[in-house]
Amino acid sequence: MSSKKLVNSVAGCADDALAGLVACDPNLQILQGHRVALRSDLDNLKGRVALLSGGGSGHEPAHAGFVGKGMLTGVIAGAVFTSPAVGSILAAIRAVAQAGTVGTLLIVKNYTGDRLNFGLAREQARAEGIPVEMVVIGDDSAFTVVKKAGRRGLCGTVLIHKVAGALAEAGMGLEEITKRVSVVAKAMGTLGVSLSSCSVPGSKPTFELSADEVELGLGIHGEAGVRRIKMATADEIMALMLDHMTNTSNASHVPVQPGSSVVMMINNLGGLSFLELGIIADAAIRSLEGRGVKIARALVGTFMSALEMPGFSLTLLLVDEPLLKLIDAETTAAAWPNVAKVSVTGRKRSRAAPTEPQEAPGSTPAGGSASKLMALVLEQVCTTLLGLEEQLNALDRAAGDGDCGTTHSRAARAIQGWLKEGPTPASPALLLSKLSVLLLEKMGGSSGALYGLFLTAAAQPLKAKTDLPAWSAAMDAGLEAMQKYGKAAPGDRTMLDSLWAAGQELQAWKSPGADLFQVLTKAVKNAEAAAEATRNMEAGAGRASYISSARLDQPDPGAVAAAAILRAILEVLKNQGV
């Protein structure tokens, strides 16, 4: 069974993709009758060298994304993973020649079909009197022994587009550009890794990988790599890749050594998330700098994909200052990133955190019986939440992403770690304020924000007094803040339902002579009943509000967690005979 693709037709997908790109970019035009994209200001290039590249479709944004001032003059696209037709390549050469350019450089990735078709078009153009040169780029560092076919052309080709484009923009001649980029091409290497394969529209995946395998050293056409390794962390895979790329016994290695300065390119092969790209980039920078390599520029993104392949390639280009100036030169190519023209290595990457506000004079010092009681309460709350992790996750899977228990457990572990650092503040206001900061930082998700809001607001009435009316006012303040910013109301099937039910009963604390335990016991029972009642409610807020009510036949996990927290507080206070 072929994989699903959002296309109009398998046969027309390459044409449609190029048409869409050109339609969205006023700087591009399609050459009539051909799958060729050219700069729309082509007539302004009289007297300059034209740069043409291309290859099969499916590598987007390559190659058309790199057409523009300071990069390519035009590109010729084949069908998916198929070399472009000789006739279209020749038409592109003729088009730029007739626009008044003084010569054309063909930048070709080292694949048999590309070499043959671009080479044949070059010979035909030269026979017509058009000056044309061709450079074949092979930057693959996968093979330890270079085969007769040579190194494959991979994402490093994009850097050659950039260098050649800067030279052409500066007015350099065809022969000199050809010589310069040929030298640069020998100073770089690329290695790819993937978690699984890709599939050409209308076809099945090109190869299969088991769940615990990773493909190392693969190309950009869905072909398998040089070997398979066991799934590992990003750090471990990056270390393995760099070891392979820089090993001098590898015939296709990059001569990177301590003290070298490089441009690093992390290229998404199509299916990795931006989250993963960030992790990979961090691993690469730490690993390279740990080896004494200076990273002059870092490019991270999708430059030359392999359809939806969930993998990436790492390209390293040895650079000096003159070469860096070419990399930094201005370009209007849509897919070239806006890279800062400063070295990555040596830059300060963090700044000091803001200072904490000073505690108010006269604050109750930590320690003492009140402090110990609060620690006991928090320990019981943490134990309760950790014990509920799987239950809360199961409840959350019906209406969310199944992480409510994990989120509350993360909060519990953060509180446990904080308790180990020293005695808790004896001041209830200060305790709630510090818990608020801790949960906002460590808990995450909307739950962390809501608890943080609740605790921050609840702390305010407790700054002046800590009697029962003040605690009731604290509950009111917390509930008001949750409703104001969370946009939930009682009956919306959220954690607010449990807290609201308890808060209504705690109003009794405002009456003279109110009994602590009698009121609190009833408040906890009300909270538990409200949590159970959420199973019959239609969600009016939160992620669950997007789910059909017919699927929500379990209590809201946030309401269950809030009720459990109140029950834990009650049990400790009773056991301690407060």
pLDDT at 539: 65
Share of the chain above pLDDT 70, in %: 95
Cβ atoms 463, 429 nearer than 8 A: yes
pLDDT higher than 80, residue 3: no
Together in a domain, 129 and 264: yes
Q: Domain with 521 in it: what CATH number?
A: 1.25.40.340
63 is catalytic: no
Q: How far is CA 136 from CA 84, 229, 451, in A?
A: 15, 30, 60
51-59 average pLDDT score:
97
Q: In sequence order, what are the beta bridge partners of 80?
A: 57
> Is 346 contained in some domain?
no
DSSP structural state of residue 230: E
476-497 average pLDDT score:
92
> Is 338 contained in some domain?
no
pLDDT single digits (tens) 8-30: 999 999 999 999 999 999 999 99
Judging by DSSP bridges, how do beta strands 294-301 and 311-318 pair with one another? unpaired
Q: Degrees (nearest 5) of the Cα angle 220, 223, 226? A: 100
Known binding positions: 56-59, 109, 114
pLDDT higher than 80, residue 367: no
Complete edge-to-edge strand list for the sheet that includes strand 103-109: 28-30, 36-39, 74-80, 49-57, 103-109, 132-137
Average pLDDT of the chain is 92
Bigger pLDDT: 262 vs 540: 262
Rounded CA separation 275/287 (Å): 19
pLDDT single digits (tens) 284-294: 999 999 999 99
Together in a domain, 298 and 395: no
Q: How confident is the model at residue 118 (pLDDT cuts 50, 70, 90)?
A: very high
Share of the chain above pLDDT 90, in %: 83
Together in a domain, 469 and 381: yes
> Is 335 contained in some domain?
no
Q: Which of 240, 197, 232, 198 shows the shortest CA–CA distance to 58?
A: 198
Q: How confident is the model at residue 215 (pLDDT cuts 50, 70, 90)?
A: very high
Rounded CA separation 61/318 (Å): 24
The parent domain of residue 103 ranges over: 12-201+212-328
Together in a domain, 291 and 228: yes
Known binding positions for substrate: 56-59, 109, 114
> Is 359 contained in some domain?
no
Which one is catalytic: 161, 221, 244, 408?
A: 221
Cβ atoms 411, 385 nearer than 8 A: yes
Together in a domain, 320 and 383: no
Number of separate domains in the chain: 2
pLDDT single digits (tens) 274-329: 999 999 999 999 999 999 999 999 999 999 999 999 999 999 999 999 999 999 99
> Is 453 contained in some domain?
yes
> Is 357 contained in some domain?
no
pLDDT higher than 90, residue 225: no
Cβ atoms 14, 43 nearer than 8 A: no
Give the residue from 305, 328, 351 where a domain finishes.
328
pLDDT higher than 70, residue 96: yes
> Is 484 contained in some domain?
yes
